[in-house]
């Protein structure tokens, strides 16, 4: 049986996944991190919780957070980020610029990649940097 809560794929298997596929997975992991962060910081109340989550996961917010971690990325992580940024996206939400949407897709691609590599500690470290300003505001 596969353990999809703790999945680790080898490099070949990960390379076979499209950048959009990695971003799709990374989007879910990022949203789980945001929701966990909100609950852990006492923001777990009905509509306020949903609104706060939406605010943190929208493309413009992710693009800003991506900019914060870019200087911290390894060469390998930067390559994955660029792979995601260069993805061929066909639909961009009206609430985001093309540039912000591609940065958000790149961030999600990186998170999906790190998740499949089993690098939870690295994801947590990068997420903590992304959320530093939010931590100061709470």
Q: Which residues are catalytic?
A: 27
Contact by Cβ (8 Å): 105, 26:
no
Residues in CB range of 73: below 8 A, 6 or more apart: 81, 110
Q: What is the CA radius of gyration of the chain?
A: 15
Structure tokens at 53: 């989550």
């Amino acid at each position: 049986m596969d353990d999809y809560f703790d999945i680790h794929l080898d490099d070949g298997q990960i390379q076979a996944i499209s950048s959009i596929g990695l971003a799709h997975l990374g989007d879910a992991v990022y949203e789980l991190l945001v929701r966990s962060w909100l609950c852990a910081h006492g923001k777990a109340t009905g509509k306020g919780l949903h609104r706060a989550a939406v605010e943190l996961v929208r493309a413009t917010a992710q693009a800003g957070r991506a900019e914060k971690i870019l200087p911290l990325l390894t060469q390998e992580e930067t390559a994955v980020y660029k792979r995601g940024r260069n993805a061929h996206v066909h639909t961009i939400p009206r609430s985001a610029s093309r540039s912000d949407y591609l940065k958000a897709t790149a961030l999600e691609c990186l998170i999906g990649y790190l998740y499949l590599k089993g690098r939870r500690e690295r994801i947590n470290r990068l997420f903590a940097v992304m959320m530093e300003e939010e931590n100061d505001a709470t």
